[in-house]
Structure 1
Amino acid sequence: MLSIYGKNSRPQAELEAIIAATEGFEERTLRKWQRISTENNENIHFIVSGEVEFRRESDELCMFTLQNKCIFGLSSIYYNSTHMYGLVRASTVVRTLKKEDFFRLMSEKNLWEALSKVLSWYVCLLSKRDEVLVARSAYSIVREFLLEINELMVHHQRDINIYDYIQEYTSLARSTIIKILADLKKGNYIQVDKGRLMHLSALPEKY
């Protein structure tokens, strides 16, 4: 749902320019399952390469996943924003800057306009997530995720367990997910083998 949307709308040139400006600052390589925190609101994290899930602290719900270049901690610059953390899913290179250094770079390199576009992108990601998940039926949510999973498997060669993927990104009960998918299998709308989506037909709009 957000993986495809985020990739298609990503402000690549602006992200490249901002992260290029941080070149020369200390880098560290994080391994899978390490965390990136915003507890210290003096720091901003620049993901140079890798893959990071952004999760909600309260219940571990995965909000969205981003690959390659991105910035984490912008909301913590002015506010106490510790409700999310980053969970590394593949070897990831990170540069962590003090916010004073970040402000200086944005001014010296004239990158405030680029940063505003990146911030707008993040707002769009969260708005899209709300559009899909808030006040929607369980079936509508599952349908959206099936379409995304199919896209990820066909065009990005991702190996995805559909039950785990949907549960990880939503607050739907696993029993609800299993029932909806079972009904879709009975109607020959989907074919699933060992949790993997093998075939997807045109899904009905309503359950």
Structure 2
Amino acid sequence: MNNEVRFKKLATELSELLSKNTEHHIKRKGQFVNIDIQNEPHCLILHEGVLSSNRIKDDLLLAYITPPHIVGLHEIKRNEITYIRSYTDIKYSLIPVASAFSIINSHSLWDKVSMYYTFLFLKTIEHHSNTAGRPSLDIIIYFIEKLSNEPESVRRNISIADYITEKTNLSRSLVMKTLATLKKEGDIISDRGILIDYRTTKN
């Protein structure tokens, strides 16, 4: 069982437990999602749809969040670094962090919570190692690979260029020029900017 499968299994188990007996909420595409309710930190359990996580200071897109996923379980105070909003229509539950901690304690699940966040941390390390100080071509190829592994709800609704420019500080002109070269050389296949296939062997 690879790490991604183990992560999804853990996320599913924790999500089902924490969202039991909670009310489901719905947000339409493009709406901001607040998990700081009356100054009390909550965690969000995503059941359906896609969230985007963005950095507040420059609106840089940090990640797409797909179910099963828990947002905010680690926060003991308001997050002033990032914000989340619905990239598609979403269905989710909210539970106070204190209540989540109580459930985790009663079921002796801290080892699984620790493993869950270890997987998230490893994903952050992978991202950093593939983007920090790397040549622009390497960064662009890395994000094409990431896009190819996104769920269809993301892949079919964002162009390759938008995906890369929203997640990096690379100029759009550089990204477009590089994508044109990759397409000409047969490394990517796209239709109206949407990624259809990726087959580059460039490193």
TM-score under structure 1 normalisation? 0.81
CA distance in 2, matches of 1:25, 1:97: 7
Aligned to 1:31: 28
Question: What runs of 5+ residues in structure 1 fail to find an aligned partner?
Answer: none
1:144 and 2:138 equivalent? no
Aligned to 1:67: 66
The sequence identity of aligned pairs, in percent, is 22
Aligned to 1:100: 98
Shift of 1:179: 1.9
Q: 1:37 to 1:57 in 2, by over 3 A?
A: farther
User: Does the aligned pair in 1 maintain the 2:137–2:178 contact within 8 Å?
Assistant: yes
Q: 1:27 to 1:193 in 2, by over 3 A?
A: closer
User: Does the aligned pair in 2 maintain the 1:38–1:81 contact within 8 Å?
Assistant: no
Higher relative contact order (CA 8 A, sep 6+): 1
CA distance in 2, matches of 1:56, 1:10: 28
Shift of 1:168: 1.4
Aligned to 2:125: 127
**Partner AA of 1:166 in structure 2:** I
Q: 1:115 to 1:194 in 2, by over 3 A?
A: same
1:50 and 2:49 equivalent? yes
| Count of aligned positions | 197
- Could you list the per-position Cα deviations for residues 28-86 of structure 1 after superposition, in whole angstroms to 9, with x for gaps in the alignment? 11111122235545222222222111111111111111211211113322x55321122
- Match of 2:50, SS state, is strand
Question: What runs of 5+ residues in structure 2 fail to find an aligned partner?
Answer: none
**Partner AA of 1:58 in structure 2:** K
Q: Which among 16, 22, 29 is matched to residue 20 of structure 1? A: 16
Shift of 1:188: 4.3
User: Does the aligned pair in 2 maintain the 1:48–1:92 contact within 8 Å?
Assistant: yes
User: Does the aligned pair in 1 maintain the 2:24–2:92 contact within 8 Å?
Assistant: yes
CA distance in 2, matches of 1:201, 1:20: 37
